[in-house]
């Protein structure tokens, strides 16, 4: 049995609070008002990273010019923080 599946199968015993949170649906992010917009946390993170890396910017998702400016100004710092996090944790054995 793959390690991930074994870990998930024993989750109720090894980490009951995490298992309970999963059972309550606390493993998704809701990006809009509709249930259809629910997505896994890691998928949401990937969407956010992709959004920040796009050359064309926010594409009007935020509507307000001030918000677009903040996003554009913060991109380098956010991407640097993401790169530092990934580099630090690539060699970490979770």
Q: Domain locations in the chain?
A: 46-94
Helix (H) and strand (E) counts in the chain: 5, 2
Report d(CA 33, CA 47) in Å as an integer. Answer: 17
Q: Which residue has the higher pLDDT, 74 or 36?
A: 74
Buried b / exposed e over 46-56, threshold 16 CB at 10 Å, is eeeeeebeeee
Confidence of residue 16 (pLDDT cuts 50, 70, 90): very high
pTM: 0.37
Confidence of residue 94 (pLDDT cuts 50, 70, 90): very low
């Amino acid at each position: 049995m793959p390690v991930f599946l074994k870990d998930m199968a024993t989750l109720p015993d090894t980490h009951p609070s995490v298992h309970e949170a999963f059972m309550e649906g606390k493993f998704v992010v809701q990006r809009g008002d509709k249930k259809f917009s629910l997505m896994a946390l890691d998928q949401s993170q990937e969407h956010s990273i992709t959004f920040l890396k796009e050359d064309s910017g926010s594409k009007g998702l935020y509507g307000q010019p001030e918000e677009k400016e903040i996003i554009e100004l913060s991109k380098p710092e956010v991407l640097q923080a993401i790169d530092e996090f990934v580099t630090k944790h690539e060699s970490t054995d979770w």
